Amino acid sequence: MNKKMLTLLIIIVVSMFFFHQLLSPTNKTMKYFPIDQQATFEETKTALTLSQNGADQPLLIWETTSQTAEPVFLRHDASLLFQNGQLKGIQSKWIQDATDIKQTASIETHDNQYFQSISYHYSEIHTNSDQINSIHQLSNDHIYVINDPFDKAYAFKVPDSEQDNHWVSTLNHTTAQQLDFHWTHLINHFNIDRNAYYEIPLLDWTAYQHDPLPGLTLETTKRVTAQLWEGLYKHYILPFKVAQKIEESFVPLILLEKKGDHLLVLFQDVNGEKQQLIQRIR
């Protein structure tokens, strides 16, 4: 295959990867069932790396993997990729009577970007007693990609030079500024009292896998997490169509009511419409 054909193939793959997994029958929902105390994940992982092999532009490689100890009735993984806080891509795949799921996608990188990804790994477990349980786990990753027009592009996750620290400060500030503007606009649109809520960006939710949310028990936190992703999958992920361009969607913001009564999920949907989901806790 000559270089021209290879470049064309890469462009086609890159342009289609965002939602190629959503072509499968995605009416399989990530429904909350009581947590199975015996079943476990052997591995859950999200990985972002930079590749410069055979492409005019460096490629961000976005991978998610998960494995259960035993085959289960339904395995389902969903992963979100954000670039400077803006939704860049979605991967979603489900399979029945299996242990392993692996998803891989790539995207051309331009300029200097901060990429973040969060993945939700889900298993629906049917027992001989007709009881349905579930287990879930989150994984995440991030990477800073620096495209210097006068030098070779490079990437890092932990800064180890003064230049790296400069880019971390710059890209973090740009991302935070953009998200704060977006979230404030949503909060004002729905006339929400910010003082009544803890504000938790979706990308920060991995902090509550082993520690409880403010004012809640760890057991309740696990249930809330599963129900949160059930709602996100139905209302935030599924509406996007295959190869649909994403323009106005950013990291969802979760507002946890300080008395622990409910939470709100704020985001802008596939049509650019502002959305507010209400999830009762008690």
pLDDT at 25 over 70: no
| % of the chain surpassing 70 pLDDT | 87
| pLDDT number for residue 242 | 54
- Bridge partner list, 50: 60
108 Cα distance to chain centroid? 19
Q: Where are the domains of the chain?
A: 3-156, 163-280
| pLDDT number for residue 37 | 87
| pLDDT number for residue 149 | 74
| pLDDT number for residue 6 | 41
Looking at CATH, the fold of the domain delimited by 3-156 is given as: Immunoglobulin-like (2.60.40)
Q: How confident is the model at residue 26 (pLDDT cuts 50, 70, 90)?
A: very low
Task: Report the alpha-carbon distance of residue 261 to residue 259 in Å, rounded.
Answer: 6
Q: How confident is the model at residue 38 (pLDDT cuts 50, 70, 90)?
A: confident
Phi, psi for residue 112 in degrees, rounded to 5: -105, 125
Task: Report the alpha-carbon distance of residue 46 to residue 242 in Å, rounded.
Answer: 22
Residues 237-268: pLDDT tens digits?
988 865 556 777 899 999 999 999 999 999 99
What b/e string do you get for 160-181 counting C-beta neighbours within 10 Å, with b at 16 or more? eeeebeebeeebeeebeeebee
Q: What is the mean pLDDT of residues 94-114?
A: 93
Q: What is the mean pLDDT of residues 169-193?
A: 97
Q: 104 near 61, Cβ under 8 Å? A: yes
**89: exposed, middle or buried (Cβ count in 10 Å: 0-12, 13-18, 19+):** buried
| pLDDT number for residue 5 | 42
Of residues 144 and 6, more confidence is placed in 144
Task: Report the alpha-carbon distance of residue 101 to residue 77 in Å, rounded.
Answer: 7
Helix ranges (DSSP H) in 83-204 = 162-189
